[in-house]
Amino acid sequence: MNKAIGLVLTSGRLACAAQAAWQKVCFYEHISRKPSWLLRLVLPTPQRTSGSYRQVGDVSRCMYSDGGYLAKTITRIVPGKRIDFDITEQTIRYHERIVLRGGTIEIEAHDDGNSSVRMLTHYELRFPLSFVARLFVDLVVTAMHKIVIRDMQQALATATARGSRSLLPPAARSTPDRTHSASPSAYARRYR
């Protein structure tokens, strides 16, 4: 069986200081916006998420619309700058052919008072190597990154408009045993 390791890196600019951006870091499972048509067509949608990602060793586990799960374990945190994670469980669609390995979310401060976010995802393809298949997987992962970045931008804009001081993302506020996202039916309604 052929195996190929893939890496997808996506960046986005944020109109805020790095510390404010850091407080809005989240994973795809935590976004509040509706996934793009491509993501809804190709991937199952997040249904329920539990856990946290505040410190090394924390696990965030999400159930998807196909009945599968994806769990991320935090492996490294540089406060205000970087969070690294490994995928420790995956049973979602394609999990035998496309194995997600982990990734990094990094915030970088800029001299002008703004910041940027970089998202990196590692994956492994476990089927006959195909240039087209790899391009498609890269396209889908990039779409996931972009929607997370747009969600961060929207959350930051909303917090700025409200003058919010509480910029911690829902997952960071949750306890490891608490489900902090909507019920499956709420997700189903939102993602139609």
- For the entire predicted model, the pTM comes to 0.80
pLDDT at 160: 76
Q: What is the reported pLDDT for 66?
A: 93
Domain with 137, as residue range(s), is 4-167
Within-domain flag for 186: no
- pLDDT reported for residue 164: 53
Provide the residue-wise pLDDT of the chain in tens; the chain has 192 residues: 557 889 999 999 999 999 999 999 989 998 888 899 999 999 999 999 999 888 999 999 999 999 999 999 999 999 999 999 999 999 998 888 899 999 999 999 999 999 999 999 999 988 776 778 889 999 999 999 999 999 999 999 888 777 754 443 443 333 333 333 333 333 333 333
Residue 40 domain-assigned (yes or no): yes
Q: Is 185 inside any structural domain? A: no
Looking up residue 91, the CATH number of its domain turns out to be: 3.30.530.20
Task: Show the CA angle centred on residue 59, arms to residues 83 and 152, nearest 5°.
Answer: 45
Cα–Cα distance, 28 to 169 (Å, whole number): 13
Residue 64: C-alpha distances to residues 48, 83, 107, 117 (Å)? 7, 23, 28, 26
Tokens of 37: 């048509």
The CB density around residue 160, as the number of other CB atoms within 10 Å, is: 13
Domain count, the chain: 1
Single-letter residue type at 31: I
